[in-house]
Amino acid sequence: MKYTQPDLPYDINALEPTISERTVDFHYGKHEKAYIDNLNKLIKGTEYEDMELEEIIEQAPEGALLNNASQAWNHIFYFFTLSPDGGGKPTGRLAQAIDRDFGSFDEFKKAFVDAGIGLFGSGWVWLASDSNGKLFIIQGLNAQNPLRDGLQPLLTFDVWEHAYYLDYQNRRADALNKLWDIVDWSIIESRY
């Protein structure tokens, strides 16, 4: 199987001013493309060649194959959670679970951003759930993915510098706080 990079469900400039056209072009257009291209080279002729991306993430040993598979998946997951019509708050079961596990939506947002700010180096901050619906905030170094731990990823913010540096320079907190304006809660709720 050859993996292809899906087209974004919005125009390249649609996330402005939160994420600039230049950043989307660089981040999704170049970084994500490189992960997909590297993944296709690494799986050719191996037992992973016909696996779904999630299976590779769950089964591959640590190293280049896992890193490229996970980064390819993580970036698609991230960009397809965002929308120019995003913002607001979750509703229904997810809103109830956030209140139950974090106290309130505002407390959840603060804890999530704090986890992203507090992650030393590069990686991802995740909202994930276990099989019982309990929610967790996870700091993931480098290409870490909650699928490896048997959890269901719901939301992620990319805290690699290339995700925000062109727009926010070293102001990671500003970048993370602005992402709430473009999060599409209907997508996240469908994952829960």
The span from the CA of 135 to the CA of 10, in Å, is: 29
Profile the chain (192 residues) by mean pLDDT over runs of 10 residues.
90 96 91 92 92 92 92 95 95 96 97 95 95 95 91 95 86 94 96 93
Burial of 121 (0-12, 13-18, 19+ CB in 10 A): exposed
Please give the pLDDT value at position 163: 83
Residues 6+ apart with CB under 8 A from 113: 173, 176, 177
Cβ pair 110, 39 in contact under 8 A: no
Please give the pLDDT value at position 184: 96
Owner of token pair 């050859």: 2
Please give the pLDDT value at position 30: 86
Residue closest to 177 by CA, chosen among 127, 77, 106, 128: 106
3-state secondary structure at position 153: strand
Please give the pLDDT value at position 51: 92
Q: What six digits make up the tokens of 173? A: 């907190």
Please give the pLDDT value at position 57: 93
The span from the CA of 142 to the CA of 70, in Å, is: 9
Burial of 150 (0-12, 13-18, 19+ CB in 10 A): exposed
What CATH code is assigned to 21-79?
A: 1.10.287.990
Reported CATH class of domain 92-191 = alpha beta
Q: What is the domain partition of the chain in residue ranges? A: 21-79, 92-191
